[in-house]
């Protein structure tokens, strides 16, 4: 196997069939799937078993621990060169794995390959997000480390289902379990600081948003704000003493986080 697909699941019965079907429809076949069920109380397990996906391993958490810790536990089982994290409500187009694995095969120095992602909202038009918006295809697929960092400081345009990573990245850094609403942005910044990123403008991943009650929406926004501010402090420590990957990286990240907070206010 070349690719391990990690899927954290918690009460995902309503969406799992679509996600699992998108794995089964990949034109690239050299993969295995490890699902971590985070103490679901719905029919998630039954949906997973009905999928009959080959090369699937299901792990059960005895209690709910959150998606980041679940993924970190699953990473301990990875013995392949590449890793993808696909959440229960996201899904891929059939050529996703073929495209991103080929990009990493061609460029051993890059740690990530990312495509554009369709952002699907139940009551608004779809949008497209991706690093390609700052690194157009005319420049080639390899976005240099310093440029990738600069593109990721003001905002996080990378959606998790649009990423294939070398397992080396996750041996260096796990997802920060104390920052569940910002640990993916933190991971991409750390990856960009280490190496170049392969970029495709093709929309090969789908990221599902959900309607939220006003109370839930406010609570999530507050938690996201706290996590983003704490992420800045984590990187301020990591990049201290002249280790910033680009000039004034912390200042630019602070400005980006401030803009994100104001936009959500």
At residue 213, the pLDDT reads 45
**How far apart, in whole angstroms, are the C-alpha atoms of residue 236 and residue 250?**
6
**CB contact at 8 A, 90 and 118:** no
| Chain position carrying tokens 């954290």 | 8
Among the listed residues 255, 112, 131, 138, the one whose alpha carbon sits nearest the alpha carbon of residue 192: 112
Q: Which of 128, 140, 141, 103 is nearest to 3 (CA)?
A: 103
> What mean pLDDT do residues 151-160 have?
98
Are 159 and 115 contacting, i.e. CB atoms less than 8 angstroms apart?
no
Share of the chain above pLDDT 70, in %: 97
Contacts of residue 83, defined as CB under 8 A and 6 or more positions apart, other chains included, come to 3, 4, 5, 6, 75, 164, 165, 166, 167, 169, 170
Q: What is the pLDDT of residue 48?
A: 98
Domains of the chain: 1-89 (3.90.550.10)
The full 3-state SS of 29-64, as one line of letters, equals CCEEEEEEECCCCCCHHHHHHHHCCCCEEEEECCCC
Residues 233-245: b if buried by 16+ CB within 10 A, e if exposed: ebbeeebeeeebb
Sign of CA dihedral 85, 90, 95, 99: negative
Q: Count other Cβ atoms within 10 Å, centred on residue 211.
A: 10
Q: How far apart are CA 254 and CA 120, in angstroms?
A: 28
CA–CA gap between residue 242 and residue 247 (Å, rounded) = 9
The answer on pLDDT for 217 being more than 80 is no
**Residue 127 banded pLDDT, cuts 50, 70, 90:** very high
Q: Give the pTM.
A: 0.96
Give mean pLDDT, residues 100-129: 97
| Mean local confidence (pLDDT), 208-217 | 65
Across the range 131-152, mean pLDDT stands at 97
Mean predicted confidence (pLDDT) in 53-66: 97
Backbone angles phi, psi at 118, to 5 degrees: -85, 125
Separation CA 94–CA 96 (nearest Å):
6
CA-CA-CA-CA torsion sign (24, 25, 29, 30): negative
């Amino acid at each position: 196997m070349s690719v391990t697909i990690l899927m954290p699941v918690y009460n995902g019965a309503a969406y799992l069939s679509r996600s699992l079907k998108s794995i089964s429809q990949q034109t690239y076949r050299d993969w295995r799937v490890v699902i971590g069920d985070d103490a679901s109380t719905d029919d998630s397990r039954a949906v997973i078993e009905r999928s009959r996906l080959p090369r699937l391993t299901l792990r059960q958490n005895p209690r709910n621990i959150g998606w980041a810790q679940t993924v970190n536990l699953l990473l301990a089982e990875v013995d392949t060169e590449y890793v993808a994290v696909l959440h229960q409500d996201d899904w891929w187009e059939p050529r996703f794995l073929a495209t991103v694995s080929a990009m990493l095969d061609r460029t051993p120095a890059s740690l990530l390959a990312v495509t554009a992602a369709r952002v699907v909202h139940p009551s608004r038009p779809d949008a497209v997000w991706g690093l390609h918006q700052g690194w157009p295809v005319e420049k080639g697929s390899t976005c240099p480390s310093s440029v990738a960092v600069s593109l990721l400081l003001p905002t996080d345009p990378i959606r998790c289902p649009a990423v294939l990573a070398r397992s080396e990245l996750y041996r260096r850094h796990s997802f920060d379990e104390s920052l569940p609403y910002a640990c993916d942005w933190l991971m991409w910044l750390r990856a960009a600081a280490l190496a170049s990123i392969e970029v495709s403008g093709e929309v090969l991943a789908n990221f599902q948003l959900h309607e939220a009650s006003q109370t839930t929406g406010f609570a999530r926004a507050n938690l996201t704000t706290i996590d983003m501010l704490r992420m800045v402090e984590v990187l301020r420590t990591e990049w201290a003493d002249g280790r910033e990957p680009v000039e004034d990286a912390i200042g630019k990240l602070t400005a980006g986080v401030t803009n994100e907070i104001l936009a959500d206010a």
